[in-house]
Structures are given as structure tokens and as C-alpha cells.
Structure 1
Amino acid sequence: MKPAILLTVVGAVAGASAMRYWSNLAALPDSWMGPHGAWYASRAAGVAAYLFLWAGLAGGLLMSSAWFDGIIGRARLLAIHQSASITGIILGLGHALVLIPDGWTHFGLVDVLLPFGSYYERMAVGIGSLSLYLGAAVSFSFWFRGVIGTRAWRWLHRASFVSFAGALWHGLKVGTDSSEPWLMAIYVVTSLSVVFWLVVRLTYIRPQRRRVAVEVAVG
């Protein structure tokens, strides 16, 4: 199975599973995950969403920089860029909605969907919501490039850095596992890699092939 198709399938299955869990959790308060099952599911979906958003951003940077030309085809990087970004949005939405039936946190639709409407950590949660919506606008603009124009599309795509930074900030400020060494390592590696690939994108110039002069002897 191609990587792009695999990423899309994984995202769709994960998103559908989160929605199904959300709808059934109220009727299964003592499920095998315990009374805080929604909380665990949200944490897992949040980390997965962040990683897919990073993969989508990384794929776009590597594709546009031409640094990997001859190693990974641009078409494949484009497919990873698109599918990973959309998968991240699906998981991010699941990360928010799956909290609603959790009786411990008491989150409602306003808390998880309205920017800065949360009763808990209003600023950090609001930034997370805005990052989700901005990332969705960037991701789904793939199909509207001809409508909004190339110039506007490119400016909108640059907002993916803002979306990624907001997701990182949201995770650091309100993530239950953000102080864990394994997750902190993920945050450090992903953020530094984005900075590195951005520098490469802005500075790398693909070397021109030298033309070999061939002297033809005339007899």
C-alpha cells in the first residue's frame, strides 16, 4: 500500500474510532479503560494529531526545497504532505470531541470548539482550537487553489507554521504528558527539524549540472 493511502486510512480509522468511542462512552462508564477512558483516548489522539501535523509540514518543506530530489520523489512527498495534514486535522478534532462525555473534566462543545471559550486554561486551549481551524483551512485549500488564486494560496500555506507552533504550545501548556521525557524529546526533535528544514528551504540552491564540453576533432 502506498504511504499516502496508508496515512489516509490510518487517519480515517482513528477518527472514526474516536467518534464511535465518544458516542458510546456515556453508556459504558465502567469500560475496560475505566472511568477516565475518554481522557486517555484524548491524550493519545492529541499526540498522534501533533505527529501527523508535523509529518505534513515536513513533507511540504522537503518537497519544495528540492533537497531530496533523486532520493524521494516530489510526488510522493506531496502525497505525504496532503494526507498527513488531513489525518492530523481528523485526529485533532477527535482529540477535542472525545473529551465531552468524560465526567471528570466536564468539557462541553463550547469548551472544546469555541476558541477561548473553555473554562480550563482558556488561553492555551483557545490557541489549540485556533491551530486546529487554521490547519484545517490550510489542508483543505488543496482543492481550492484555482478558486482563491496561487498567490493567496501560498500565503495561506505559510500559515501552516503558525498552526504547528500553536499546536506545540497547546501541547506544552496543557498536555498531561508534556513533562514526560519521551514526549519532551518528541517536541524537541520535531520542532528543531522544522527549523532546520525551513532554513534549508530558504537557503538551499540546487546545483546546476555542469555541461561537459566535448571537442570534436575535424579530420
Structure 2
Amino acid sequence: MTGPAGPPSRPEPPSAPRRGPTPRTDWAGLRADLRDAVPDATAALVITAVIFVVLYARIDAGSSPTLQVMPFLADADRYWMYWLCQAFGWSALLWAWVTVMLGLLRSSARPRWMPVGHARVERWHRTTSLTTIALMFAHAFMFFAELVRENEDGLGWGALLLSAFVDVFVPGGYSSGTGRVAILIGLIALYLSIPLGLAYYFRFRSGSRLWRALHRFIIVVYALSVWHTLLYGTNVWFDGWFRTVVWLLQLPVAALFLIRLLTPARPSERLRLRDPEARPRPLVAAARLGGRIAVAVCTVVLLGVVITGHDGGRTPGAETGELLVGPREVWMGLALLLTVIAVVVGVVRRDGRAAPAATDG
């Protein structure tokens, strides 16, 4: 004997398309940005060629202030790799300035006067970032090629390549003159730019909060790049209008950085000390307030440097003083920076684990 009949069966609704697992790395996005960066990189190469011609002509005419410090570079034909290296360095700094400005503009509240949306600004920021990293590497590689070409010690190919590699690509490997500090700073900027600049494409693995936290340290890379250029760059050996222009270009960066801190695009990053409900934790509030004050002070200092023209650069005809910062201080600063980054990563990961637990509870 059978039991009572159940309800009439209903046809099963069509199932939603199954989604695959979340990708661990955004390789498709990286490939798309690399394709979009081709026009940008082409423009960078054209600018680099123009800078190279200018540097070459100044050396050939004997009017470059670099010759007052390194007169052996007067043979423009012989040292063309060195001048191409310098040209890549200048275009890299220019592109770094552009991409930092775009990044700060993207992460700030959109002003009414901006004719394009945040999405387009972000695409420009990503492509110019990739171009900047490539230019920084080209800058270092051409210096490596110049050291290989010189081979003043008559080394064999193996020893020569190893020696040049250590001098150019190993932090602390270059051990003479101003380059002990300048090249060390430049290499730190290069090696930090790769993980901090490419963190976006690994956000699925690290989480969006972590990659945003890491990417904010890219402003330190830019500061190191400017420091490297003013310390060792061609045509900025002495106080003068060209060096002042380099400083002048930092004013909009500092101003936009302050605007970004005061009016961030993400409401959760705004500092609301008067609103008890939206007030962040005391440590977070103190860090955000301290950052705003520090950037405001730096902006005033930059303005003072531009107005006075005195920034510690060389003075023609005067004895060069000792460097105020040596390799030891640079290494200590790097250790402090890496410690801060490690603390930030730990805090972000801890908060990320605590949020699901609070939701489940």
C-alpha cells in the first residue's frame, strides 16, 4: 500500500551560470594595462630622446655644469651611454611626477572642475606607473652598460659583468664618491617601486585593504627618486634656476597630497574628530592627524626652498662640504620604513580576520 501522493513536482528553475574561483592574480588586467601603456611608453621614449640630445649638445659645447665636477665626461661620443642613462633618469622622474599626481587626484574627492571621471584617471595612473618602472630600470641598465663598456681594470667578461652588476644593482655595492649614497637611494626607490607599484594586480591574493595600504607607501618611493636626482642628477649639481624648477614641481605634489589627506575619495578615510559616531580609534585618528600636519609642514618647507633657492646644493667655486647623510643613515631609514610597512601589514591582516569573526558572532 502506497502512501499519500506528494505535491506535484515543479520543473527546476534554470541554474545561474557557475562562476569559477576568484583569480589569485589579475594577469588579464596587467596585460590590458601593458597594451594601454604602449602609447604612453612611446611618448616617454620620445621625451627621453629629446633630453638625450639636449644633454649631448651641452656636453659637446662644454656648457654642462657637470663638467665642473667630472671633466673626464667631456667626450660626448665616448660616454654617450652615460648620457642616455641620464636622459632615462630625467624622463623617469618626469613620469613619476605625472603618475603620482594622477594617483593623488584619483584617491581624492573628485573636484567639480575635473572633466574626466575617477575610472579614467585610474587607468592613466596605472599605465604611467608601468612606464615609470620601465624607465627607472632603463636608467639603471644604461649605467650598467656604461660600466661594462669602460672596463678600465681589464677584467674578463665574467668578472666584468659581475663587477658592473654589483656596482649598479646591488644596494651598497657602489662604494666611491657621492654615488655611495645617491645610487643606494636610487636602488631602494627602484626595488620598492616594483612591489608597491604592482600591488594592484595582486589584490585578489592580498585583499583590497592590504594593497591599498601598501600602495600608499609609493609616495616614499617618489620622495627617494627626487632626492636621488637632486643629489646626483646631471645639470643639478649647482644652485640655480634648473634646480629651483625641480623643487618648484614638488609644490603641486605636496599641495595635492595635503588635499588628498583632507578630502579622501573614500568616506571611511576622512578624519571626523567632532562626530562621536564616525570618530576612528584614537591611534588611527592620531596617525591621520599627524600625517596631515607633517604634509602641511613639508609644503611650507618646500615653499621656503623655492623662494630662497637654498637647498644645500653645490655652490660654484666653493669647496663641497661633507654629505649630511651617509649610507649608514640610509640603511637605518630603510629599516625603519620596512618596519612601518610590516606593522601596517600586520594591522590590516588582523582587522581583516576580526571583521568576519564579528559578523559571524
**Normalised by the size of structure 2, how large is the TM-score?**
0.47
Change (3 A) 1:151 1:178: same
Q: Deviations over 1:140-160 (max 9, x none)?
A: 112111111122211211111
Asked if the contact 2:44–2:91 (Cα under 8 Å) also holds between the matched residues in 1, the reply is no
- Structure 1 residue runs of 5 or longer lacking an equivalent are 16-31, 207-219
1:119 is matched with which residue?
A: 175
The offset of 1:182, in angstroms, is: 5.6
CA distance in 2, matches of 1:90, 1:105: 26
1:35 aligns with 2:78: yes
Matched, 1:139 2:197: yes
> Is 2:103–2:125's contact at 8 Å kept on the other side of the alignment?
yes
Could you say which residue in structure 2 is the equivalent of 1:95?
A: 139
- Matched letter for residue 90 of structure 2: V
SS in 2 for 1:135: helix
Q: AA paired with 1:6? A: P
* CA distance in 1 between partners of 2:263 and 2:91 (Å): 30
The alpha-carbon distance between structure 1 residues 5 and 42, as it changes in their structure 2 partners (threshold 3 A), is closer
When structure 1 is superposed on structure 2, of 105-114 and 80-89 the one drifting more is: 105-114
Q: Whose radius of gyration is greater, 1 or 2?
A: 2
Q: Measure, in 2, the Cα distance between the counterparts of 1:59 and 1:34.
A: 38
1:52 to 95, 98, 107: 95
When the two structures are aligned, how many residues end up with a matched partner?
189
Are residues 63 and 149 of structure 1, via their aligned partners in 2, closer, same or farther at CA, if it must alter by over 3 Å? same
Cα distance, 1:205 vs structure 2: 7.1
State the AA in 2 paired with 1:68.
P
Deviations 1:7-50, CA, capped at 9 Å, x for gaps: 144458899xxxxxxxxxxxxxxxx9600101110111001001
- The residue correspondences of 1:182-197 to structure 2 (distance < 5 A) are 183-197=242-256
Q: Where do residues 99-178 of structure 1 align in structure 2 (5 Å cutoff)?
A: 99-102=143-146, 103=149, 108-120=164-176, 121-178=179-236
Q: Determine the C-alpha separation between the residues in 1 that align with 2:229 and 2:252.
A: 17
Tell me the CA shift for residue 5 of structure 1: 5.1
Q: Tell me the TM-score normalised to structure 1 length.
A: 0.75
Percent identical among aligned pairs is: 30
Larger RCO of the pair (alpha carbons < 8 Å, separation 6+): 1
In 2: Cα distance, 1:139 partner to 1:10 partner: 20
